[in-house]
């Protein structure tokens, strides 16, 4: 794998298929036992590949988990036709995607799910950050705030707000919270040099 290539984005069909097998194997294993108790050997056996093949694709089970979450989240956004631009409706689509994805996850009360939370957050904020950076690259402008800092702030804010919303009893609809989050983060994006 090239250093610049993301472990989640691959064009070669054979590599994509192997990674899909590994992600599906991990997903099934997570239904049966805690992440901490799943070994690379367990994943490789469930995917019907050997350990060396696993390590050809992922550095460890944590990288696999992050890629699996990111892939599933990207599928949800793709199904909805969401891609980033500075348009408020595109931003709302991203926020809705994060809210709906988190709401569809099993509750985080059980220990098994709590262990996954940091990896889930890392994967989802990375996807949102990448979308914002892609939007910045398509609309470059001069300014003093770097697109990377803006993307990091916005992606963390979106995930944090969605996570808090999911944990709120008797919460408002995802549409309502998305409107609120967009109103909170739009000023950050409007101050960003690439999206002003």
Give residue 2's pLDDT.
33
Task: Give me the pLDDT at residue 86, please.
Answer: 53
Given this structure, which CATH class describes domain 64-191?
mainly alpha
CA dist., res. 33 & res. 151, Å (int)? 35
Residue-level pLDDT at 1: 32
Q: Does residue 106 carry a pLDDT above 80? A: no
Determine the Cα–Cα distance for residues 126 and 132; give it in Å rounded to an integer.
10
Token output for 154? 């916005």
Residue 3 banded pLDDT, cuts 50, 70, 90: very low
| Residue closest to 154 by CA, chosen among 122, 179, 127, 189 | 189
**Confidence class of residue 195 from pLDDT cuts 50, 70 and 90?**
very low
CATH code of domain 13-61 = 1.10.10.60
Higher-pLDDT residue of 4, 78: 78
pLDDT of 4 above 50: no
Domain segments of the chain as ranges: 13-61, 64-191
pTM beyond cutoff 0.85: no
């Amino acid at each position: 794998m090239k250093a610049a290539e993301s472990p989640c984005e691959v064009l070669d069909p054979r590599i994509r298929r192997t990674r899909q097998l590994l992600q599906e194997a991990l997903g099934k294993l997570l239904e049966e036992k805690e992440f901490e108790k799943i070994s690379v050997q367990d994943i490789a056996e469930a995917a019907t590949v050997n350990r060396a093949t696993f390590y050809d694709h992922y550095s460890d089970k944590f990288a696999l988990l992050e890629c699996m979450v990111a892939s599933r989240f990207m599928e949800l956004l793709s199904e909805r036709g969401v891609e980033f631009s500075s348009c408020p409706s595109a931003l709302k689509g991203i926020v809705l995607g994060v809210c709906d994805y988190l709401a569809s996850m099993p509750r985080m009360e059980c220990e098994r799910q709590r262990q996954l939370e940091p990896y889930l957050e890392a994967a989802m904020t990375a996807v949102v950050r990448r979308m914002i950076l892609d939007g910045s690259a398509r609309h470059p402008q001069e300014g003093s705030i770097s697109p990377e800092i803006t993307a990091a702030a916005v992606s963390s804010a979106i995930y944090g707000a969605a996570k808090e919303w999911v944990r709120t009893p008797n919460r408002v609809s995802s549409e309502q919270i998305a409107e609120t989050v967009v109103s909170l983060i739009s000023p950050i994006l409007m101050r960003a040099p690439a999206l002003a």
